[in-house]
């Protein structure tokens, strides 16, 4: 008796079936891409917009923080070669000095009559956080540019002397307890003497001194930079002789500074625009900063 064995044939995909699968897959992928492309593009745009907004906000907050520490009547704004320059003298603290006419006895008042007397006592707590230290500067009754000798910009850092017309700033030589020793006393050389009505002084830290923010006014965007520690210049430097710190790239800004009639307060407004060079996406942010000019 003979037995026949049957062999089952194995089938695969035919070429036509493979082509159909590829075509259907492509159609489905295209449909998915149509629905996904816009949300993905929107997400990328929102991330880029958020990054520009964050960069603009950070730069303007840094400017606002510095301006609020500006020495009264030291802020000045100018535009040269399509660049806005915002300059001021930075302070870290303040205090009251002992005055010969305050009715108190003993101690060492700040002299406005004897240039050889360069020691004075601080009334109340000493400036702290940061503490007043050797090398820092003391400024008394700053009225600003055009009001020599009550003008801190009239101090020559290179010679440690006042320029012609006098000034109201002195460098600290040493500090001990509540006693401050100055390298020299320019206050006694003022004509006329200009003591503070409230016996107040401001501290200008040596590490900062004058500060300038530079931002292109347009039409071409550029770097929004910060300069510091370049001394005190009678004419506003453009740009200062210092290494810039970059705050934001591809920036333009519109700056306006307004003082009230008594020059005791001011408002500086800045409209900063940042541009993404690849997409040309733009973000504009407007800030107004109060300036206290009460010396």
Domain ends where: 182, 204, 226? 204
Q: Which residue range is the domain that position 163 belongs to?
A: 93-204
What's the CA gap between 64 and 66, in Å, rounded?
5
Question: Which of 177, 204, 231 is the last residue in one of the domains?
Answer: 204
The DSSP code for 190 is: -
CA dihedral 17→18→19→24, nearest 10 degrees, is 90
Both 245 and 183 in one domain: the answer is no
DSSP state for residue 234 in the 8-state scheme: S
Whether residues 68 and 106 share a domain: the answer is no
* Number of structural domains in the chain: 2
Please state the pTM of the whole predicted model.
0.86
pLDDT at 259: 85
Give pLDDT, residue 46.
84
Regarding beta strands 210-216 and 155-156, do their DSSP bridges make them parallel or antiparallel, or are they unpaired?
A: unpaired
Question: Which two structure tokens, joined as six digits, stand for 292?
Answer: 């206290």
Q: d(Cα 272, Cα 64) in Å, to the nearest integer?
A: 13
Do 64 and 114 share a domain, yes or no?
no
> Quick one: how many helices (H) and strands (E) in the chain?
1, 15
Residue 173 lies in a domain: yes
Question: What pLDDT shows up at residue 103?
Answer: 67
| Residues 66 and 135 reside in one and the same domain | no
Domain boundary among 145, 180, 204: 204
Q: Is the backbone of residue 186 left (phi > 0), alpha (psi -120 to 50) or beta?
A: alpha
15 assigned to some structural domain: no
Report which of 44, 55, 41 is spatially closest to residue 275, judged by C-alpha positions. Answer: 55
The answer as to whether 141 is a domain residue is: yes
Q: What is the pLDDT of residue 44?
A: 74
Do 119 and 197 have their domain in common? yes
Pair 276, 259 in one domain: yes
Tell me, yes or no, whether 231 and 268 share the same domain. yes
How high is the pLDDT of residue 1?
A: 47
**pLDDT tens per residue across all 295 residues of the chain:** 455 545 555 566 787 778 787 888 877 777 766 777 677 677 677 888 899 999 999 999 999 999 999 999 999 999 999 999 999 999 999 999 999 877 666 789 999 999 999 999 999 899 988 999 999 999 999 999 999 999 999 999 999 999 999 999 999 999 999 999 999 999 999 999 999 999 999 999 999 999 999 999 989 999 999 999 999 999 999 999 999 999 999 999 999 999 876 678 899 999 999 999 999 999 999 999 999 999 8
Secondary structure letter of residue 90 according to DSSP = B
Q: Mean pLDDT score of the chain, rounded to an integer?
A: 90
Structure tokens given for 171: 């460098």
Domain assignment present for residue 108? The answer is yes
- Cβ distance 188 to 167 under 8 Å? no
Q: Are residues 219 and 274 in the same domain?
A: yes
Residue 37: exposure state from Cβ atoms within 10 A (0-12, 13-18, ≥19): exposed
Residue 38 lies in a domain: no
**Interacting residues of 177 by C-beta distance below 8 A, sequence separation 6+:** none
Give the Cα separation of 275 and 291 in Å (integer).
29
What is the radius of gyration, based on Cα positions, of the chain? 33
pLDDT of residue 119: 97
| 177 occurs within a structural domain | yes
Asked if residue 250 and residue 186 are part of one domain, the reply reads no
Residue 10 domain flag: no
pLDDT of residue 12: 67
Neighbours of 216 (CB within 10 A): 21
For residues 273 and 248, give the distance between their C-alpha atoms in angstroms, rounded to a whole number.
Answer: 10
Tell whether 165 and 214 lie within a shared domain: no
Q: Are residues 126 and 195 in the same domain?
A: yes
Backbone angles phi, psi at 118, to 5 degrees: -120, 25
Q: Are residues 112 and 193 in the same domain?
A: yes
Helix spans in the chain (H): 15-67
Give domain status of residue 183, yes or no: yes
Peptide bond connecting 219 to the previous residue in cis, omega within 30 degrees of 0: yes
Structure tokens that stand for 34 in this block: 């149509």
**To which H or E segment does residue 229 belong?**
none
């Amino acid at each position: 008796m003979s037995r026949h064995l049957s062999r089952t044939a194995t089938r695969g995909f035919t070429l036509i079936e493979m082509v159909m699968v590829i075509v259907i897959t492509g159609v489905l992928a295209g449909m998915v891409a149509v629905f996904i492309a816009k949300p993905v593009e929107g997400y990328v745009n929102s991330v880029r917009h958020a990054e520009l907004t964050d960069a603009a906000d950070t730069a303007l907050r840094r400017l606002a923080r510095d301006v609020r520490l500006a020495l009264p009547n030291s802020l000045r704004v100018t535009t040269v070669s399509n660049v806005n320059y915002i300059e001021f003298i930075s302070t870290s603290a303040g205090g009251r000095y002992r005055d010969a006419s305050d009715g108190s006895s003993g101690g060492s008042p700040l002299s406005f009559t004897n240039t050889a007397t360069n020691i004075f006592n601080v009334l109340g707590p000493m400036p702290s956080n940061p503490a007043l230290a050797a090398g820092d500067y003391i400024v008394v009754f700053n009225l600003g540019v055009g009001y020599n000798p009550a003008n801190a910009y009239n101090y020559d850092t290179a010679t440690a002397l006042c320029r012609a017309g006098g000034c109201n700033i002195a460098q600290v030589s040493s500090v001990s307890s509540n006693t401050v020793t100055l390298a020299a006393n320019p206050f006694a050389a003022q004509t006329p003497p200009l003591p503070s009505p409230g016996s107040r002084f401001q501290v200008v830290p040596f590490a900062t001194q004058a500060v300038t923010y530079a931002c292109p006014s347009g039409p071409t965007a550029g770097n929004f930079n910060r300069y510091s520690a370049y001394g005190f210049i009678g004419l506003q430097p453009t740009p200062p002789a210092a290494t810039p710190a970059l705050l934001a790239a591809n920036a333009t800004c519109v700056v306006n500074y307004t003082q009230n009639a008594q020059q005791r307060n001011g408002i500086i407004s800045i409209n900063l625009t940042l541009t993404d060079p690849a997409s040309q996406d733009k973000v504009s942010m407007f800030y107004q900063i109060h300036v206290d000019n009460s010396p």
